[in-house]
Amino acid sequence: MEKIPMTRAGFDQLDEELRELKGIERPAVIRAIAEAREHGDLSENAEYHAAREKQSFVEGRIKELEMVLSRAEVIDPSKLSGSVKFGARVTLVDEDTEEEKTFQLVGEQEADLERGLLNVRSPLARALIGKDEGDTVEVVTPGGEKSYEIIAIKYA
């Protein structure tokens, strides 16, 4: 099976979610199902059906997280240097708008653009891999082609 690259922070976040699902969410759903069963006729019991649906979601997410965490390869970016690779914190400047953006290249499971965490398999990340400070990258986006200059690469 293919390993899933991940930062320590991403791994810890998923591990915490798994612990919460197993320790809090799963028991709460089991209690909700038991309470709903006490109300009698299950065929017309909306509480019962809602609790079963939630149970299905929780169990599915638990299985997904267990699979991801079992295949995770935690990479420590602080031990890396040089050109852009997984874990790098890259500062770019948009050559059209002069807008500066900083992204960290992370695994698919921990990607969150709102927080500057860029999926390593995204078009922008793939264009950045192997590049150095001062290099220009061209990326085809849904809004058209964009050019960025790499102004800083940090590993922390």
Residue 105's domain comprises: 77-154
- Choose one of 47, 74, 101: the last residue of a domain: 74
**Are 31 and 99 within one domain?**
no
Mean pLDDT of the chain: 92
76 phi/psi in degrees, rounded to 5: -95, 105
Given this model, what pLDDT does residue 83 score?
Answer: 93
The reported pLDDT for the residue numbered 6 is 94
Torsion of CA 11, 12, 18, 24, to 10 degrees: -170
Domain count within the chain: 2
Q: What is the pLDDT of residues 14-41, one digit of tens each?
A: 999 999 999 999 999 999 999 888 877 7
Q: Is the Cα torsion angle 124, 104, 67, 26 positive or negative in sign?
A: negative
Tokens 């590049």 sit at which residue? 131
Phi-psi region of 48 (alpha: psi -120 to 50; beta: other; left: phi over 0): alpha
Per-residue pLDDT, averaged over 54-75, amounts to: 96
Domain of 63, CATH number, reads 1.10.287.180
Please determine, for residue 126, whether its predicted confidence score (pLDDT) is greater than 80. yes
Q: What is the pLDDT of residue 79?
A: 86
Strand, coil or helix: what is 121?
A: coil
Rounded Cα distance between 129 and 142, Å, is 20
Q: Provide the CA 66 distance to its chain's centre, in angstroms.
A: 15
- pLDDT higher than 80, residue 59: yes
pTM (2 d.p.): 0.80
